[in-house]
Structure 1
Amino acid sequence: MDSYEKVRVVGRGAFGVCWLCRDKISSAKVIVKMINTHGMSEKEEKYIQSEVNLLKKVQHPLIIGYIDYFTIDNQLAIVMQYAEGGTLEKLINEQRQIKENIPEKTVLEYFTQILIALDHMHSKHIVHRDLKPANILMNRRKTILKLSDFGISKELGTKSAASTVIGTPNYLSPEICESRPYNQKSDMWSLGCVLFELLQLERAFDGENLPAIVMKITQGRLKQMGEHVTPEAKKLVDALLKTNEKSRPDVTDLLVDPVVLPYLISIHCDLGRLEPPTTDKRKPSASLSSRLRTYPTQSTLRAHSSSMSLLSSQHLTPTPSSIETGMKPLIKNLSQSRISSQARYHQHRFTE
């Protein structure tokens, strides 16, 4: 810990303590997860090492950043990026207390960011297994989300399926509740639960005890959504919360959905800027909707127009299947060509 100064404890888990620390050289705030390895079984040590390996493998602008790890006094220290804005769960609770719904455009912008992060994980055959608002972190301005907590994530083979019952009860998929094999589609169910909660400020499946929650999940007894939610958003929730996992869309299906696509293009345009903006010294507004740009900018519209022109130049017939065929390579190229600049720019913006 010679390089870091401890500030305060920010969390405790099954294996150790999370400290907010300050880098003694750069003064940057980081999270250091201290895990006591003394007396651990070989299986437990492998479990901890798997989290380190996953953090290394899933480096992405929308996934909490891995910085370093080292051992000290029978403890393993994992150094990770710090999220000043807290968790998505905290935001939902705050909005529930003041009885103010999160604007749907903001919800869909958040939803698309989570989709992009999941797409990166699923492309590496990794299932998060505990996707929930408490494991989604935010920057100070609450404009950027990052997935976190890979302690129970599992790496799958291309055609394999996991079978361990693990995760937070309210967000468990029916297949996990029924102890059936599961894959990336289980994360899609959890994502549907997160989307429902962002829109409604309450959990999709809740009950007095675990059996009651499990029964509602396996029967797909979803709470009715309010009139403030648009039919398009309700359709997304319904698609994700299909009890038959084979009927659920995967990430790539949703990334070309007409509701999601404009937000996807907007996010890629924002992350593609090479130069970070000048630090804004103004205090953020108390209103959530005024803090976030949740509408298409002129640059977004131009990018959308250019994308459509590209499709037109390729002589694509405007049917759902051909649009999907045309947009997937475009999305892939956007992601691959900008990943290095995204990481630099995003690291700057996440500290705002």
Structure 2
Amino acid sequence: MNKYKVLEEWGAGAFGVTYLVEESGGGRKFAVKKVECMDEREGNLTLEEAMSLLELQHPHICQYKEFFMVWDNKISSLFFCLVMDYCDGGNLERMVQENRQQGTIINEKIIQRFLGQIIDALNYIHKKSISHRNLKPSNVLWKRDGDFFLISDFLPQTLATDEMKMKIRVDP
């Protein structure tokens, strides 16, 4: 993570912790998902599987920039890090919550646009024999500049096992 400065921790999910980062020297912003690996073998398998994610080129799929492994000396553990585009509009879950709190409904044209874009993206990954494994409103991002939606947070199958879902780390 030496290339990036952590600006904010967005929170932990079932598969890891996500951060808002900036390239060192004040460059572009990205999201980094940091997922703990059980061992070196799992880390190597994960890297192999993740290579196909770098090839995903679709206007409604969040683009991955790079992947890397990092060793945390404090807790003696190996982490797989996924660097992906940052979306400034937040996610679908937050959009729905904000509309509920304000007592408003999401515009029908936005819903139609969202459904069309997400179905198009799912069709694309299906043709490439890739499964998302964790599709939910918080993993659908919204880009304000183009007013479009992106599927994010793809995980290599090795990291999306039931065993990994059950794994919890408690830091002091």
Q: Structure 1-normalised TM-score? A: 0.39
* 1:80 aligned onto 2:84: yes
Distance in 1 (CA, whole Å) between partners of 2:33 and 2:116 is: 28
Query: What SS does the corresponding residue of 1:126 show, helix, strand or coil?
Result: coil
Tell me what 2:115 maps to.
111
Which residue type is aligned with residue 67 of structure 1? Answer: K
With over 3 angstroms needed to count, the CA separation of the structure-2 counterparts of 1:18 and 1:132, relative to structure 1, is: closer
Larger RCO: 1 or 2 (CA < 8 Å, sep 6+): 2
Q: Which residue pairs with 1:49 in the alignment?
A: 47
Q: Distance in 2 between matches of 1:48 and 1:15?
A: 13
1:25-72 CA-partner distances (Å, limit 9, x unpaired): 5621111222333x5374x44664366234223232210110012223
Structure 1 unaligned segments of length 5 or more: list them.
155-163, 166-352
> RMSD of the alignment, in Å?
2.8
Residue 62 to residue 26, structure 1, CA distance change in 2 (3 Å):
farther
- Are the structure 2 counterparts of residues 153 and 108 from structure 1 closer, same or farther at C-alpha, using a change threshold of 3 Å? farther
Aligned to 1:19: 19
Which residue in 1 is equivalent to 2:39? 40
Match of residue 105 from structure 2 = 101
SS at match of 2:118: helix
User: Structure 1, residues 146-191: CA drift from partner, whole Å, max 9, x if none?
Assistant: 001222769xxxxxxxxx99xxxxxxxxxxxxxxxxxxxxxxxxxx
- Measured against aligned partners, the alpha-carbon deviations of 1:284-330 in whole angstroms (never above 9, x if no partner) come to xxxxxxxxxxxxxxxxxxxxxxxxxxxxxxxxxxxxxxxxxxxxxxx
Higher helix residue share: 1
Change in 2 beyond 3 A, CA 1:51/1:132: farther
Runs of 4+ in 1 over 3 A off after TM superposition: 13-16, 44-51
Partner secondary structure for residue 105 of structure 2:
coil
Structure 2 runs not aligned, ≥5 long: 72-77, 163-172
Assess, with a 3 A threshold, how the Cα gap between structure 1 residues 150 and 8 changes in structure 2: closer, same or farther: same
Percent identity of equivalent pairs? 34
Q: 2:62 aligns with which of 56, 61, 64?
A: 64
TM-score (norm 2): 0.74
Residue in structure 1 matching 2:153, options 139, 149, 152: 149
Whichever structure has more strand as a proportion of its residues is 2
Rg larger in structure: 1
C-alpha displacement of 1:129: 3.9
Instruction: Tell me the number of residue pairs that the alignment of Structure 1 and Structure 2 aligns.
Output: 154
Q: What SS does structure 2 have at the residue aligned with 1:95? A: helix
